[in-house]
Amino acid sequence: MDNYVRFDRMDTICAYACPLPDGSICGGAAFVGSRCLYQGTASELATLISADGLLRELRRSYAELISGELNPLEVESWRNSIPTVIDLLLEEGLGDVQVLIELKTPISDVRMDMVLVGSHPITGQMTLVVVENKQWQWARPGPSPELVYLSSSPNSKPHSHPIRQVWDYRQVLIDYISLVQRSAKVYCIVNMHNAITEKLAAIRPAAVGLKYDSSLVRMFCSDHRDHFKKTLRTVLSPERASDYAKEFLEAPVSPTESLMTLVTESVCQRSVFPLLDEQRDAYEYVRAAVNASKQGAPKEVVLIVGGPGTGKSVIAVELLGILNRQGVRAVHATGSRSFTLTLRDNVEKVNRRAARSFSYFNSYTHATPHNIDVLICDEAHRLRATSDRRRNSYDGDHNQQQGRPQVQELIEAAAVPVFLLDEHQLVRRGEVGSVQLIREAADDLGIKVQQIDLRHQFRCGGSPEYVTWVEQLLGLGWEHGPQPWRPLETFELHVARSPAIMEEFLRAKQDEDTTARIAAGFCWPWSDPRPDGTLVEDVKIGEWHRPWNSRAEREKNGIPPSSLWATHAAGFDQIGCIYTAQGFEYDYAGVIFGDDLTWTGQNWQANRRANKDREVQGAPRFGDLVRNTYRVLATRGMSGAVLYSTDPSTNRLFAELGVPIL
Distance set, CA 341 to CA 177, 330, 344, 562 (Å): 33, 18, 5, 10
Sorted by sequence, the CB contacts under 8 Å of residue 241 that are 6+ apart come out as 41, 96, 97, 98, 117, 118, 119
Mean pLDDT of 217-238: 96
Mean pLDDT of 439-453: 95
Distance CA(286)–CA(50), nearest Å, equals 46
Q: What per-residue confidence (pLDDT) applies to 6?
A: 35
* Phi, psi (degrees; rounded to nearest 5) at 540: -120, 120
Q: What per-residue confidence (pLDDT) applies to 152?
A: 85
Q: Are 571 and 564 within 8 A, CB to CB?
A: yes
Sorted by sequence, the CB contacts under 8 Å of residue 236 that are 6+ apart come out as 94, 97, 116, 118, 119, 120, 121, 127, 129
Q: Which of 61, 118, 108 is nearest to 247 (CA)?
A: 118
Q: What per-residue confidence (pLDDT) applies to 99?
A: 98
pLDDT at 273 over 50: yes
Alpha helices for 349-487 (secondary structure H): 352-355, 406-413, 435-444, 464-474
Mean pLDDT of 193-216: 94
Mean pLDDT of 538-564: 91
Mean pLDDT of 536-544: 96
Mean residue pLDDT of the chain comes to: 88
**More confident: 283 or 23:** 283
Q: What per-residue confidence (pLDDT) applies to 1?
A: 42
Q: How confident is the model at residue 613 (pLDDT cuts 50, 70, 90)?
A: very high
Q: What is the signed CA dihedral for 493, 498, 500, 503, rounded to 10 degrees?
A: 20
Q: Which fold has domain 259-453?
A: Rossmann fold (3.40.50)
Q: What per-residue confidence (pLDDT) applies to 11?
A: 29
pLDDT at 2 over 90: no
Q: Residue 576 is inside which H or E element, if any?
A: strand 575-576
In this predicted model, what pLDDT tens digit does every residue of 131-181 receive, in sequence order?
999 999 999 999 999 999 998 887 788 999 999 999 999 999 998 899 999
Alpha helices for 396-497 (secondary structure H): 406-413, 435-444, 464-474
Distance CA(150)–CA(395), nearest Å, equals 40
Q: What pTM was estimated for this model as a whole?
A: 0.79
Q: Tell me which amino acid residue 639 is.
A: S
pLDDT at 87 over 50: yes
Domain residue limits, the chain: 34-250, 259-453, 460-656
pLDDT at 198 over 90: yes
In this predicted model, what pLDDT tens digit does every residue of 3-47 receive, in sequence order?
444 333 332 222 223 333 333 333 333 335 678 999 999 999 999
Q: Are 407 and 377 within 8 A, CB to CB?
A: no
Q: What per-residue confidence (pLDDT) applies to 399?
A: 45
Kindly state the DSSP code that residue 104 receives in the 8-state scheme: E
Q: Across the strands, what pairs with 237? A: 119
Q: Residue 508 is inside which H or E element, if any?
A: helix 499-511
Q: Are 96 and 241 within 8 A, CB to CB?
A: yes
Q: What per-residue confidence (pLDDT) applies to 392?
A: 52
Q: Across the strands, what pairs with 603? A: 6
β-pairing, 637-645 vs 575-576, is unpaired
Q: What per-residue confidence (pLDDT) applies to 128?
A: 98
Mean pLDDT of 482-492: 90
Q: Which of 181, 186, 220, 178 is nearest to 118 (CA)?
A: 186
Mean pLDDT of 553-569: 87
